[in-house]
Amino acid sequence: MTVWLRPPRRVALLSVHTSPLEQPGTGDAGGMNVYIAQTATRMAERGIAVEVFTRATSSDLPPVAELAPGVLVRHVPAGPFEPLDRTELPAQLCAFTAVVLQTEANNEAGFYDLVHSHYWLSGQVGWLARDRWGVPLVHTAHTLARVKNAALADGDTPEPRSREIGEQQVVDQADQLVANTDMEANDLLHRYDADPAKVCTVSPGVDLARFQPGSRTDARARLGVPASATVFAFVGRIQPLKGPDVLLRAAAEVLRRGDVNRSDLVVLVVGGPSGTGLEQPRALQELAAHLGISDVVRFLPPQAGPELAQVYLAADVVTVPSHNESFGLVALEAQACGTPVVATDVGGLRVAVRDGVTGLLVPGHSADMWADALTRLNSPELRAVLGAGAVSHARAFSWDRTTDELVGAYMRAGVAFREVSEQAEVAS
């Protein structure tokens, strides 16, 4: 049995359904991918080796790839070599777990000091690895079924009961539960009856070297957007939960009112279909046509880091109209670039965006309310004030701080695991 009161030497990081090597913005790749890649890289810089286990979605993937010095990504064969819907993945957890356990068995005893699982599917695997290896389990949920089901978009599919049960099992078994915000921590306490001693809040960060103020004129030139245009942007996975339709309806209302000239307006939608959005991959294009705004809407595929920063810089406003967010990395990245954000007044967006200081929070999803907010930010003076506040706010978040706090959570998990182990020995 491994018990330690120091930072771990090697962490087994579990991310069953999505790889940190994937491009965020489509499929299941999103903020969690960024979180894992950024924190794992910084763990390695602190002398903690990290091995990420993720399901192989192609036979062309190497068994092991290096994400960064000290960070390995292990592609685990579990099920067909193709992307699977998350509803199909529980059937592959046994195969996935077997490979994870075998990997540890092929090394010397005590090879991994700690397991950190991301999302409930990984938590199921982590729970078994914890018990087999005799090491602490740290779990980050990222999203919670009971919270998502309480704030579904119209027509969206609720999370199944089996997920709620699986999440509850992981909450009960983990030695430390890492929440993105105090609100998420409260959800764990009151919706899942988590032990308060096990719950801590660690805010995600932002890459302040990549996302920073720059030339709006140059960014627009790179994107082929007129320098004088009014630009509203949405960045993220295209699915009902993220609410990209809210921006299109609001833009149509802004034009109907005459608040912005049609010839001046550009609406950028950056991302790819995901989740239930895969059922109707052209739904947004069809909605734009129905609203009569196809001429002002530009659809772009997911953008890599430097190109994504150009999107944020080119926008007058970045919108985050999600129905629920555990945090909202897009909002933080945009603000780090000096671009105000209009976001829904829900979940972690209340932390990521400071209403009236870095952007505006909208209490709902009606086209009228969103049009009001977008029109309010059509004032260059207000945008300048909020943009300055946005940069200052974003600087309070960094992946280095997030990583340091995660290391603290790892050490607390070690203490908790030792105490539980000692109690079990006494009882026996």
Q: Where are the domains of the chain?
A: 10-205+399-427, 216-395
The answer on whether 237 is annotated among ligand-binding residues is yes
pLDDT at residue number 279: 66
Q: What string of DSSP letters covers 303-336?
A: --HHHHHHHHHH-SEEEE--S--SS-HHHHHHHH
Digit-coded pLDDT (tens) for 134-186: 999 999 999 999 998 988 878 788 999 999 999 999 999 999 999 999 999 99
The answer on whether 17 is annotated among ligand-binding residues is yes
Model-level pTM?
0.90
Digit-coded pLDDT (tens) for 98-119: 999 999 999 998 999 999 999 9
SS3 label, residue 296 = coil
The answer on whether 277 is annotated among ligand-binding residues is no
The answer on whether 119 is annotated among ligand-binding residues is yes
pLDDT above 90 for 409: yes
The answer on whether 301 is annotated among ligand-binding residues is no
Q: Which residue has the higher pLDDT, 84 or 166?
A: 166
pLDDT at residue number 236: 92
The answer on whether 26 is annotated among ligand-binding residues is no
pLDDT above 60 for 223: yes
The answer on whether 163 is annotated among ligand-binding residues is yes
The answer on whether 419 is annotated among ligand-binding residues is no
The answer on whether 28 is annotated among ligand-binding residues is yes
Among 21-25, 263-267, 352-356, 407-411, the minimum mean pLDDT is found in 21-25
pLDDT above 90 for 335: yes
The answer on whether 333 is annotated among ligand-binding residues is yes
pLDDT at residue number 281: 73
The answer on whether 240 is annotated among ligand-binding residues is no
pLDDT above 50 for 3: no
pLDDT averaged over every residue in the chain = 93
Q: What string of DSSP letters covers 171-240?
A: HHH-SEEEESSHHHHHHHHHHS---GGGEEE------TTTS----HHHHHHHHT--TT-EEEEEES-BSG
The answer on whether 359 is annotated among ligand-binding residues is no
The answer on whether 37 is annotated among ligand-binding residues is no
SS3 label, residue 74 = strand
The answer on whether 43 is annotated among ligand-binding residues is no
Fold of 216-395: Rossmann fold (3.40.50)
Fold of 10-205+399-427: Rossmann fold (3.40.50)
pLDDT-above-90 percentage for the chain: 81
Tell me whether the CATH fold assigned to 10-205+399-427 matches the one assigned to 216-395: yes
Digit-coded pLDDT (tens) for 5-44: 678 999 999 999 889 998 776 667 678 999 999 999 999 9
Give the integer Cα–Cα distance in Å for 93 and 89: 7
